[in-house]
Amino acid sequence: MTLSSSVGADQEVASRPALTMADFHKMDVEVLGGVGTAKAKALASVDVESVLDLLTYYPRRYIDRTNRAAISDLEDGVEAMVMAQVDSVFSKKLRGSRTMVRVTVSDDTGRLGLIFFNQPWRDRQLSQGQEVVVFGKLDRYRGQYQMTNPIVDLVGDETGRIVPVYPQSGKAGLQTREIRRWVDEALRRSESRGISDPVPESLRQYHNLIGRHEAIDGIHRPESMDAQYTARNRLVFDELLRLQLKLIMRKRAVERAAVGISHDTSGELVERFTSSLGFPLTGAQRRVIGEVTADMARPVPMHRLLQGDVGAGKTVVAVAAMLTAVQGGHQGALMAPTEVLATQHYLGVSSLLDDLAVPASDSLLAERPLRVALLTNQTPGAERTRLHGSLASGETDIVIGTHALIQEGVDFASLGMVVVDEQHRFGVEQRAALRAKGSQAASPDVLVMTATPIPRTAAMTVYGDLDVSTLDEMPPGRTPIATRWPRTAAEEAEVWEQVRAEVGRGRQAYVVCPLIEESDTIEARSVTETYERLQAEELAGLRIGLLHGQLTPAEKESVMALFRGGAIDVLVATTVIEVGVDVPNATVMVIVDADRFGIAQLHQLRGRVGRGDQESTCCLLAADAVGIAAERLRALVETTDGFELAEADLELRGEGTILGERQKGRNDLQLASLRQDKEWVVGARQAAGEMLDEDPDLQRHSELRAEVELLLGDDDADYLMKS
């Protein structure tokens, strides 16, 4: 496959079909002038191997040459971007193997120094007379203005009003001007045939989107910043539409192929359970139980994500789902990521189901007790053997456990409902293995739960193949948690006095640290050092326990049992207590080096207190926190709403970490941002659903289907469906 290369060829190619993404994918970048073996290797190092890769290697920013900052306009301590000319380059070796390169640049208004530490290649990259774009923070050193380790782009002698700046690689020797030259050539040689647009015109008109050829040209060679914005909107929509089409198609294909259990939802067991709780369900709990029950009645396996803030009542929903299976003669299994959490769930669920009777299947009048069991690696051998037998015979109705549930030898008579708690803590294969414990004739329903609220756009993207239920209402009686961020030594001392005061009132406290042992590389107080210091100093005389991941499961459970029973006043722990641990008498949470944690983790930890009817406090110790870390702590102080915090988290750290393993393909969400493009996420999902309602296999949109398959491989979809 080649691009047109001469005027004489234009008439011939004009009659040929427009170029598709598949056509560009087949063209090696070496078809472009100036891309020899060395440059092709350099481009491959940034995942550009085909002309398609090049056309989707988008500029990271633009310089409006009619509206750029001058050096004289720069402000001390403020990040800014200027275009200037290199006047001089000076390289110097420092002590050890360190280096410093000092560059002086200037424009019509002044001069600026650039200092690069340990970037010796800058001496080769930059030379007198070059035009460069510099982005960094201005500071003053010995009376002179300079930027330290700024971002530098070589732009060459550009005369255009809007100059695109591409991601560059100093090590690979790629410069923005040559990338721009190759892109220009690819677009110029595509003009005769044009670039095909597989998105229906009616859909483009509905969303006021320009054509694809115009969009690709506009993202690389915009005539104005407005033109770049319009082009970006179109290409963002394309990325999101492809992703949603892939997810929805795969989900519907699985539903068509898979045989599920059509559960009998007319029984009274769930109603007996909810009536025995002693407190009313929230409206959100009733709504979500209804969604789950409706799914379970269908003859296709349920794949539903249940998200809810800490304390929103997810366990009650999970129990109701398992009881729906039990009342029809099936079994339920709940898998938790840790021994501590599995045991906690077992104690909590057993308490909720205490004295609940199940109508016997062999008699209209007889009833039998509901049987709930716990299976972990700590289950004694004889008990394990007995439990294996009772699961295989159907004698046990509900089993709660760790990954021990998926080990060889664990078989179910009829597994009808699988609940996976804190699903992000499990590997894909572990979740799939538990689902596979169902019968070969029918797959069990699956409910995955998370207490880490997910922004709506991220849920639509990351979990696009799952139905999402949200508990967005807190049960009455939950005491709000006051959150403090002490900044001074005196304020930190007050925190330990508050811990003492709460213990004096008969309450308990957590102290959480990020590390188990001292580290030279991370300045964070270890849990063992903190435990020893608090025993000797701030909390001397109190009963202090220690809990971390290096203890054996039996040791962990022993410590937790003592804490639950009130024999320990203060539990010093790592994040092993992050999820699910429920001690209503604990009213203070102190998080040491809180700037080392993310928003979601801090919110989870804070949720360990405020579980009773007493006022509770969370104290974030991080006196030196700055930048994004400080913004995270401010967000925690300002709100206890997990969904607000999830949106703040998305704003602060971007979607890359939230998408996680979803974002594996280099053509997957190159431009789209879940922060900036929320309305496009919603619009693309709606459009994909409507398109597939009318054309389930995209037979009438064959080019679009081919594009989806090309840019979003089956491996990604398989990963999502397994999870």
- Residues 88-136: tens digit of each pLDDT: 999 988 887 889 999 999 998 999 999 999 888 898 889 999 888 888 8
CATH architecture of 66-157: Beta Barrel (2.40)
Residues 6 or more apart whose Cβ sits within 8 Å of residue 564: 583
Domains 66-157 and 481-639 share a fold: no
Across 544-558, 598-612, 660-674, least confident range:
660-674
Token pair of 539, please?
């909390």
Residue 20 has pLDDT above 90, yes or no: yes
**Strand 79-93 with 616-621, pairing:** unpaired
The 10s digit of each residue's pLDDT in 191-248 is: 999 999 999 999 999 999 999 999 999 999 998 889 999 999 999 999 999 988 988 8
- In 3D space, the residue among 158, 145, 169 whose CA is nearest the CA of residue 60 turns out to be 169
Q: Domain 269-297+313-450 sits in which CATH superfamily?
A: P-loop containing nucleotide triphosphate hydrolases (3.40.50.300)
- The string of pLDDT tens digits covering residues 28-77 is 999 998 898 999 998 998 889 999 999 999 998 887 765 667 898 888 88
Per the structure block, which two tokens stand in for 594? 């809180």
How is residue 385 written in tokens?
């053997």
Structure tokens belonging to residue 70: 């001058």
pTM over 0.85, yes/no:
no
pLDDT tens-digit series, residues 468-522: 888 888 777 677 799 999 989 999 999 999 999 999 999 999 999 987 665 555 5
Q: 10 Å Cβ neighbour count for 681?
A: 25
- Domain spans of the chain? 1-62+166-196, 66-157, 269-297+313-450, 481-639
Q: Which two tokens stand for residue 164?
A: 């695109």
What are the two backbone dihedrals, phi and then psi, of residue 618, each rounded to the nearest 5 degrees?
Answer: -120, 125
CATH topology of domain 481-639: Rossmann fold (3.40.50)
CB atoms within 10 A of CB 262: 13
Question: Dihedral (C-alpha) 38, 41, 43, 45: value to the nearest 10 degrees?
Answer: -140
